[in-house]
Amino acid sequence: MATLDREEKERHGLRILFMILFWFILRLSYFVTGLMALVQWIWRWFETRPDGRLRRFSVSLARYQRQVVDFLLFNTPRKPFPFDDWPSSDVDAVRPEDENPIETDEPTDDNDARSDSDEERKD
């Protein structure tokens, strides 16, 4: 029984070291998030469509931050990257309607697009 308590305490001691490490990594990732927001804003200033590579990285970075927070709050025992794989960047999980396209002077046919998508839903 005494060895079980000692092993448990050693695991907790080791976990606190990992928690401190991942807390610093999380703080650094927040800085990267701010840089990514600035880069995406600049990109969208000059382009009408978002850059796919930036979006994929942003999605995977947000998922990584979630994994780190889950580890820090004891929601999971799994340590995030670099002890596990980097999270996937399924941009398809981000709905297209979440994007706010930049308005242009070009006329759009929103009514036709809505009626087509409504007919697809009925089928």
Residues 54, 76 contacting (CB under 8 angstroms): no
23 burial type by CB count under 10 A (0-12 exposed, 13-18 middle, 19+ buried) = middle
Mean pLDDT, all residues of the chain: 78
* pLDDT, tens digit, 9 for 90 and up, residues 30-69: 999 999 999 988 988 888 777 778 889 999 999 999 999 9
Among 91, 90, 83, which Cα is nearest to 67's? Answer: 83
pTM for the predicted model, two decimal places:
0.66
- Taking only the tens place, the pLDDT of each residue in 70-86 is 999 999 999 999 888 88
